[in-house]
A and B are shown apart, each in its own frame.
Chain A
Amino acid sequence: MGPWGVRPLILAAAGWAILSPRALTSSVTWYVLTVLLAVRIVADWPLPDNHIYLLAYWCLALALSLSAVDPARALAISARRLIGVAFLMAVIWKAFLSPDYLDGRFFRVTWLTDARFTDSVQLLGQLSATQLTYNRDLLAPLPEGAELLDPPLPSDPPAFRYLVLMSTWGVLILEALVALTFLRPPAGRASSLHHVSLLLFCGVTYAIAPVAGFGWLLLTMGVALCRPEQRLLRATYVATWFLVLFYSEIPWANLLVSWLSTRSSA
């Protein structure tokens, strides 16, 4: 939440917008929030996560659109472009700029070493706790230039290799689909492809990725793409918002792993 002086101001401005409908629809509120978030990003740089930047751009989009002739249309166009460019950058990083993404190294290492994914990798990659510990030990770094004479091989069951392949290409394809859909001209009304790709991305990604805040922001931007008569679609976005909340608060993978191990030992 940034430096101590900024945190209460962000909470106060956001809280006031919730309590007062006039403040909620005033561009001043959103300009103030944009400035506070920008101060937070600059003061904490380079620590803030990418969704804090996106949140600042979104507040700016709200402020600007509220003074437009057709605020809903201006906001929808902003949402489309923001999501499109953010996902385009994510795709460029994965496909062209990172040396360790396309060959599967990123997900191999992440699944094995990031403690937040321990339950998911046991459930989806069929790695036992012992195999996971063994692989983690193998990944202890060697000093600069050192090489083992006879290096032991990691435990690499087919399910884990499949998980690495699916996560590497699945994430890239899903992100590319969102980027292409949202950047495709013309910038008219959002089609069902926009909503399906965004909802699919949020529904799948945030089951595993521990960044619920990013998901909630994307879903909020998705709601701005809905026309007033699209009530069912709005409800779907709200339901997905709660699904992401469920993912972040309930250790579903851990519960499944425990349940499966109890069942197999019974």
Chain B
Amino acid sequence: MNRVLEVRDLRISFPGADGHRFHPVDGVTFDLIRGETLALVGESGSGKSLTSLALLRLIPPPGRIDAGSVIRLGETDVLALEGEALRRIRGRRIGMIFQDPMTSLNPVFTVGDQIAEGVRAHLPVSRSEARDRARALLQEVGIPDPAGRLKAYPHQLSGGMRQRVMIAIALAAEPEILVADEPTTALDVTVQAQILEVLDQLRRSRGMAVLLITHDLGIVAGRADRVAVMYAGQIVEEAPTAELFARPSHPYTQGLFASVPRITGPRTRLIPIGGTVPPPTAWPSGCRFRPRCPKAFAKSELAPELMPVGPDHRMRCWLAETGGTDG
């Protein structure tokens, strides 16, 4: 197994109004394998974006990563890094693209400047070499007339073009992992597909691992190799994509699928999940989905661990013990 990233029991805490620290991310564990796409799926407030920021130690203060958490990039212990050593993994080992391409580019510099900046932040190349690389990167992310676009300012480009530029910047220092936090949420549907296609091509051509953070199960199908579903600061189900879509097992995952309309098959009523996501300041005791779960039973009063329900398929639900999760 060619593991490029190892996250163990990641806990992120913020100080609450009552003086106690609360944990929006509370014990997240996953691996990322070279060349794969892992989708981290969850609603807003599930902790998925904080998880991605933690990989680069970008949790805004007063938030912090609690002791006992582990983030390993190959042999590098990310949580032990400081200062210049930390800067050198940002962009170099892990590249990151953000949700809103309209605001993620500096408005007063040209696209070429900004890509070259990403190159020169990490690689010892001259200004003109950096410019050549910038042009090659624009070509690689599928921007027509890359030499001309180098001189464009962000406001002269469409949203889809800007997101391609963001991807080019994230790839400037040739990272082995690309974290894409809701990369297509701000784009319209046809452009979404193009951007996802670009990401997929780059993953294959560069052998990168991609961590795709999204709330949209639709973009996961066909793009991700594996899916981890997050709820209330924890991963509640994890499986290869085909397996998850064929046999969603955690009641929360089942609820997600039941609330998404389907194009094929018989028309059925969409069933919303009752209630709302609890705030991170008040996670329910026991199983965190218990207050909204149609299948909650006595044992749900205790907090479940991730338990196997099939090959490479695990969920955080006591029903895994009985195997009775269908229906």
A and B pair up: no
Interface set of A (CB-CB < 8 Å, partner B): none
Interface set of B (CB-CB < 8 Å, partner A): none
